[in-house]
Amino acid sequence: MDAVTTPVRGEQPAVEELILGPRPNRPVPRWLLMVASIMAVLLICGFAVWRFWPQPGPPLSLAQLQDAYAGMVRGDGVNDASVLTRRGSNQDAVTVSPTDCTALVETIMINRLPAAALDGVGTYWLEGTWSIALFTLRFDDSSAAQAELTRAATALDTCAGERVSLAANPTSGGENGSATLWQAVVGHTSEQTTSTGLSYTLAMPDGLMIGQLMTYRNTVSWQFRYAAGVTTYASDPADRLIQSLQNQLDAVAATASR
């Protein structure tokens, strides 16, 4: 038998509500809106930094370095520019001690290209009592060039105040290689090491050598100045020469980008 439900007298029947359409959404928490706003701002700022942050230009070629150094050759014939390759580099003739100081002397005192260098261009001349060597080496990219500058900066921090020596390696004929060929004490200059350059001194028994490095795109440039019987130096001539080289590199790069 089916049961029949009879409403109680005086009781109003329940009202049924029929809701059409999607279920109303709950209010979004305020903290979630704040997080979303912060993330949006960070994304916009990140894109702006990436878009407008200076990017390194394309790598310089050996031909471009030669063009730049054509502007560094004096018209009176005092100097000329030469291509530097690993074939003409002195790889194993001497040993540097301490070895941590190698990056400060290998290019000038050993005539050896750093391991990551490809090739380069250089020149040499005399100016009064100073002999000047200026050369620029190419690397695969700007990161590799920056790594070479960091290598030299680390060597300078480690070796400042230390005595560096070069000793000839034994030859295949069995000649003694223990004789010391050269000694110098490494020192800081008044100029500060930066992200694009550094400078230092090499005090020798008979004179003073100043080394200066500069990065430019995929290249590192070295300037060395040496004078006998000198213990002090003025930085202005070296700074002007490095600036002149940078101007030449800028001009070559600008020509290539047209």
CA angle 126, 127, 129 (to 5 degrees): 95
Separation of alpha carbons 240 and 242, rounded Å = 6
Hey, what are 56's tokens? Answer: 């390194």
| Mean pLDDT to the nearest integer, 237-254 | 95
CATH number of the domain within which 183 lies? 3.40.1000.70
Q: What share of the chain is helix, strand, coil (3-state, %, to 5)?
A: 35, 25, 40
Q: Which residue has the higher pLDDT, 176 or 29?
A: 29
Contact by Cβ (8 Å): 245, 136: yes
Do the domain assignments include residue 150? Answer: yes
Do the domain assignments include residue 16? Answer: no
Show Cβ contacts of residue 169 under 8 Å, excluding neighbours closer than 6 positions. 92, 93, 94, 95, 177
* Ordered DSSP codes for 88-105: GS--SSEEEESGGGHHHH
Q: What is the pLDDT of residue 49?
A: 46
Whether residue 248 has pLDDT greater than 70? yes
Whether residue 17 has pLDDT greater than 70? no
Question: What is the gyration radius of the CA atoms in the chain, in angstroms?
Answer: 34
Q: What is the pLDDT of residue 16?
A: 54
Do the domain assignments include residue 94? Answer: yes
Do the domain assignments include residue 55? Answer: no
Do the domain assignments include residue 162? Answer: yes
Q: What is the pLDDT of residue 33?
A: 64
Q: What is the pLDDT of residue 172?
A: 43
Q: Kindly indicate the confidence band of residue 173, based on its pLDDT and cuts at 50, 70 and 90.
A: very low
Residue numbers of the domain that contains 84? 62-256
- pLDDT for 208-225, tens place per residue? 999 999 999 999 999 999
Q: Which residue has the higher pLDDT, 164 or 47?
A: 164
Whether residue 234 has pLDDT greater than 80? yes
Do the domain assignments include residue 6? Answer: no
- pLDDT for 61-83, tens place per residue? 999 999 999 999 988 888 899 99
Q: Where are the beta strands (DSSP E) in the chain?
A: 81-84, 94-97, 119-127, 130-138, 163-168, 180-188, 197-204, 207-216, 219-228
Q: What is the pTM of this model?
A: 0.77
Do the domain assignments include residue 46? Answer: no
User: 63 φ, ψ to 5°?
Assistant: -65, -40
User: 154 φ, ψ to 5°?
Assistant: -65, -40
Do the domain assignments include residue 42? Answer: no
Q: Which residue has the higher pLDDT, 201 or 48?
A: 201
- In the chain, the number of structural domains is 1
